[in-house]
A and B are shown apart, each in its own frame.
Chain A
Amino acid sequence: DQQVKQNSPSLSVQEGRISILNCDYTNSMFDYFLWYKKYPAEGPTFLISISSIKDKNEDGRFTVFLNKSAKHLSLHIVPSQPGDSAVYFCALLETGANNLFFGTGTRLTVIP
């Protein structure tokens, strides 16, 4: 039962352009939405988050958008840099729950 889906396993973007990573979910009980970044042979690193009362949160080059009615979450990176090349996971949480539900990840490659 895959509650969180990242339908694009990979994405290639030219340096300086915008990267858009998408995440869809089925459980309307999720309240908190996070993005993690993972380099090979390392653990995931927290990047940015948003709560369900907002539809946008921005932190430098990273912006997360939430469309609750469509149950859709996206991460925008602009401008993209080669160091952004990594696997990006969305992770969702219900209020009061103990576990994050992770998507399957999207491998972003930023081409210099």
Chain B
Amino acid sequence: NAGVMQNPRHLVRRRGQEARLRCSPMKGHSHVYWYRQLPEEGLKFMVYLQKENIIDESGMPKERFSAEFPKEGPSILRIQQVVRGDSAAYFCASSPARTSYNSPLHFGNGTRLTVT
């Protein structure tokens, strides 16, 4: 897991507040993925980004969720007006190319979001 940095590790928000989750990919990796893990479930794909571009956001909820990966700085996953159902572990992963058999994802340690 060394190399993909996520912060904060834990985030507590009240219902209605905004949550901002940050991810710095491994050095040399320009492909970033966000996954969400609900309790007792596997990881579910949310969004795939390259620098300044959203490539695939088919796993993102249609409302309140957005992601960016600017030219400079970390990738940000933003959740507006959080609800209790948003409580989950959010994992960021990076790779030097689009994920494939030969280019497995490297995951960060995740941000655990708790909505009270």
- Closest chain-B Cβ to A43's Cβ sits at a distance in Å of 3
Would B110 and A43 count as touching, CB distance under 8 A?
A: yes
What band does the interface of chain B fall in when counting residues whose beta carbon is under 8 Å from A? Answer: 20 to 34
List 22 A-B pairs, Cβ < 8 Å. A32-B100, A34-B101, A34-B104, A43-B4, A43-B107, A43-B109, A44-B91, A46-B105, A51-B101, A89-B42, A89-B43, A98-B45, A98-B56, A98-B58, A98-B99, A99-B58, A100-B45, A100-B99, A101-B45, A102-B43, A103-B42, A104-B41
A41 at the interface (CB under 8 A from B): yes
What band does the interface of chain A fall in when counting residues whose beta carbon is under 8 Å from B? Answer: 20 to 34
Residues of A within 8 A of B (CB): 4, 6, 31-32, 34, 36, 41-46, 49, 51, 89, 91, 93, 98-105
B64 at the interface (CB under 8 A from A): no
